[in-house]
Amino acid sequence: METKPLVLVADDEDFFRTPLAGALRFFGYEVEEARHGKEFYEKVDQLMRDKTPPSVLIVDNQMPNQQAEPDSQWCGFERVKEICNAWKGYDIGSRVLFLSRWGLVDLPDSYRDDAAKKFRLLENDRWLSVQTPFCVLKNKIEICSSLGGSYGHK
Amino acid sequence: MQEHIEHPVGQRDDVLSLLSKIAGFIFETENPLSHAYEIVRQTAKSQDADISTLFVVEQNTLVLMGGVAFLRGEEIALPKEKHSYPLKWDVKTADDMKDGGLTAFVAVSGTPLNISSLEDLVSYSCHHGGWDEYIYPDPDSIKNSETGFGCMYAVPIKRSREGSQKDTVLGVFKIERRRNRPPFSEQDKKIFDLVAAHLSLLLQTYYRVQNRVFSDVAHAIGGGLGRSVTILTMCQEVIKNSNTDPYQAFEYLKTTLPNSIAMLNKAIERLVSVLDAARDPNKITHESIQCLWDLVRTEVELKSNLELNKTKCLISVNPPMTMETTLRLPCIQYHDLSSILGNILDNAVRHSGTSIPILIRLYEENSGEKSYLIFEVLDNGKGIRPEVIKEVENTEYGEVFHLPGTAVVGSGTGLRRVYGLAKLNKWVVKCAVYNGTTFRITTPDFRL
C-alpha cells in the first residue's frame, strides 16, 4: 500500500494552520500540526526517532507570544536550525518551507550564519510569503515530497 | 514542475507601491522634504550665500530635492532633472563618479565631511559636516579653520537595521559663496550647524512616522489580509477538485469558508483603522510626538539664533518633558505654537541683556480634574508698557492681517499675532512684567 507523504505544519495562528492542514489532508497528505516552536522540535525529533520522517515541514518562521517560548520571536527559524543540527547527517533543511510576511527578506542578518547556510535554510526556494496562493504552495510541497519519504543519511 | 511556480516578488512590489501612495497621501499636505529645502534656502538667503542645494541619497540615486543660485538678487532655480544621479556604492575616487560629478562623489564618499567612510557617517546620531574644502581649494582657505566658501552637511535620515549603505537614506545640503566674495565666518557656520540639527530632526520625524504607517499597514496586510486571501485560495483549489471527494470538500468548505471571510472582514477593518489612525494627529505615536517636541525646541533655538544673527543668548528648556506630558502634546497645533514662541522670542532676544539666558519652560499644571499645559518664556529685558499690552489684547484676530508695516520693529504686530493665534486656538496668553517679561501660554484642558 502506498503511504501518504507526511507534512508537518507549524504555525501559532490557529486560523491559518487549521485550514492549511485541512486542505492538505483533502489533497491526500498525512498532516501533523505544531502550535509553537517547542512542539515542532519535539514532534520532528520523535518522527525522526520513529524512522517516519516528515516529507515536508511548513514552518511559520516568526511565532512570537507563545507561552512555550515567550521571548523568542524567530523561534520557528531557530527551531529548524536546532533540529537540523540535532540530525546533522540528514538533509532536513531541503524539506523545509518557511512562511513569512515577505519571504527571505524578512530574516534579520543576525540569523544568517554559517550554520543556516550549511543547512540550506537561506535558499530563496525555501521561503514563501504568506500571500502565496495555495496552488504555488502545493506545487512546492509536491517538489519536496518527490524527494522521497526516507532521508538520505550522509 | 519548477517553471509553473509564480514568484511572489511582483505582488510585493505592487503592495509597496500602494503603501507609497498611501504614505504620500498622508503627508501631501506638508511635504517635509520641501519644508526642509525651504529652511536651507532661507538660511542661505539670510547668510547671503550664492547657491544652496539639498540632496537626498536613497537606494541607488542621489536626487536634488531643491536648489537655487542667487545672482544679483535674483533667485535661479536649479533644474532637478539635471542634478539627479545614479550612484555606484563602490565609489572610491571622484573619477568613479564621472556621470554624477563632484557633488555626487562627495555625497557618497563623505570626503569633505572629514569622516573616513560612509559607514561612520551612518553611525552618527545627528548630523555631520563642515567646511567643504572641495570648493575653491586654495591653500590659504584650507588652512584657515575659521572661514570657508562653502559648508556641506550630511544628515542621516533613515538608518539601515543591518548597516547597509543601500538601505540608508541621507540628506545632504550645501550652502556656498562665490570666490570673489568674502568667505563665510565661523559665526555663519554655527548657524549652519543649528540648521543641520534641525533638518536632522525634521527629516527623521518624517521617516519615522512614515515607517510606522508602512509597518502598521504591512502588518495588517501580512498578518491578516494576506493569510485570509491564501486561505481563500485553499478553498478555491478544494472547489476545483471537489468532484474527487464531494463529501470531504463540503466538510472542509463548510467551516473554512465562513471563517476565512470573517477573518478577511476583520483584516480589512484593521487596515481601515490603521489608516484612520495614521491620519488622525490625536492618535500619533509617542515616538513622533517626542520628535515633535524636539522640533519645537530646535525651531525656537534656531529662530532666535538666526534673528539675533550674533549668537549671544542661550535658550534652555526646563524642565525636560515627562513622558505623560509628551503623550498629550498632539492636542497642540504645532505651527501656531511655533509661530507664537517665535514672535515672543523675537522680542525677548531684541530686548534682553546678553548675560542672562532666556528661559523657555514647558510644564503641566493640574487644577481639580482639569489639566493644563503651560509654556513660559522668561527674559530679563526692559519689559513692555502696560498700555501696549492692553491695546494688543483688545485687538481682534482679523485685524492682525490688516496692519500696515508688518515688518516694523516695535509696532506690536508680532504680539498681536501671538494673541490672535492664541485666541483662535482657545489658549490664554498672559504677560507679566517684572525685571523683564514673562509670557505664559496656557492651553485648555488638554487631556485626550
Contact A130 B263 (CB under 8 A): no
Q: Is the pLDDT of residue A37 over 60?
A: yes
User: Chain A residues within 8 A (CB-CB) of chain B?
Assistant: 13, 15-16, 19-20, 22-23, 26-27, 101-103, 108-109, 128-140, 142-143, 146
The amino acid present at B411, given as its one-letter code, is: S
Are B270 and B224 spatial neighbours (Cβ–Cβ below 8 Å)? Answer: yes
For A108, the closest chain B residue by CA position comes to B162
Indicate the burial class of A66 (C-beta count within 10 angstroms; 0-12, 13-18, 19 or more).
middle
Closest-CA distance, B257 to chain A, in angstroms, reads 9
Q: Is the pLDDT of residue B74 over 70?
A: yes
Contact B1 A139 (CB under 8 A): yes
Strand blocks (E) in A14-146: 30-34, 56-60, 96-100, 127-129
**Chain B, 144-163: which have a CB under 8 Å from a chain A CB?**
161-162
Strand blocks (E) in B47-126: 51-58, 61-71, 74-77, 85-86
Lowest mean pLDDT among A141-150, B71-80, B252-261, B389-398: B389-398
Are B119 and B128 spatial neighbours (Cβ–Cβ below 8 Å)? Answer: no
Gap between the Cα atoms of B255 and B235, Å rounded:
10
ipTM: 0.87
Residues contacting residue B440 through CB under 8 Å, at least 6 positions apart: B374, B375, B376, B429, B430, B431, B432
For A104, the closest chain B residue by CA position comes to B9
DSSP conformation class of B294: H
Asked if B247 has any chain A CB less than 8 Å from its own CB, the reply is no
pLDDT per residue over B280-303, tens digit each?
544 444 444 455 455 555 555 555
Length of chain B: 448
Gap between the Cα atoms of B115 and B111, Å rounded:
7
Q: Is the pLDDT of residue B96 over 90?
A: no
Contact A19 B231 (CB under 8 A): yes
Contact A133 B248 (CB under 8 A): no
Are B304 and B313 spatial neighbours (Cβ–Cβ below 8 Å)? Answer: yes
Read off the pLDDT of each residue in A97-122 and give the average, rounded to a whole number: 85
Segment of B119-128, B377-386, B417-426 carrying the highest mean pLDDT: B417-426
Of the pLDDT bands very low, low, confident and very high (cuts 50, 70, 90), residue B131 is confident
For A143, the closest chain B residue by CA position comes to B1
Asked if B2 has any chain A CB less than 8 Å from its own CB, the reply is yes
Q: Which of B222, B234, B248 sits opposite A101 (nearest CB)?
A: B222
Dihedral sign computed on CA atoms, order A153, B2, B5, B6? positive
Of residues B243 and B325, more confidently modeled: B243
The pairing of beta strand B61-71 with beta strand B85-86: antiparallel
A-chain residues within 8 Å CB-CB of B4? Answer: 139
Q: Is the pLDDT of residue B76 over 60?
A: yes
- Reference B314, options B265, B354, B272; nearest CA is B354
pLDDT per residue over B402-411, tens digit each?
444 444 455 6
3-state helix, strand, coil in chain B (%, to 5): 55, 20, 30
Quote the percentage of chain B above a pLDDT of 90: 2
Closest-CA distance, B58 to chain A, in angstroms, reads 19
Q: Which of B4, B248, B249 sits opposite A139 (nearest CB)?
A: B4
| Separation in Å, CA A71 to CA A62, A67, A68, A101, B216 | 12, 9, 9, 20, 22
Gap between the Cα atoms of A106 and A61, Å rounded:
9
B-chain residues within 8 Å CB-CB of A102? Answer: 12, 222
- Reference B385, options B395, B393, B377, B376; nearest CA is B393
Gap between the Cα atoms of A137 and B234, Å rounded:
10
Contact A19 B236 (CB under 8 A): no
A-chain residues within 8 Å CB-CB of B216? Answer: none
Of residues B8 and B435, more confidently modeled: B435
Element (H, E) at B437: strand B436-442
pLDDT of residue A67: 61
Contact A132 B222 (CB under 8 A): no
Contact A26 B12 (CB under 8 A): no
A-chain residues within 8 Å CB-CB of B6? Answer: 133, 136
C-beta atoms surrounding B16 within 10 Å:
13
Q: Is the pLDDT of residue B327 over 80?
A: no
DSSP B232-243: HHHHHHHHHTGG
Interface test with A, best of B1, B2, B5 (most A CBs within 10 A): B5
- Reference B393, options B360, B431, B444; nearest CA is B431
In what side-by-side order are the strands of the sheet with B370-378? B315-317, B358-367, B370-378, B436-442, B428-434
Mean of all residue pLDDT scores within chain A: 84
Read off the pLDDT of each residue in A19-23 and give the average, rounded to a whole number: 94
Element (H, E) at B434: strand B428-434
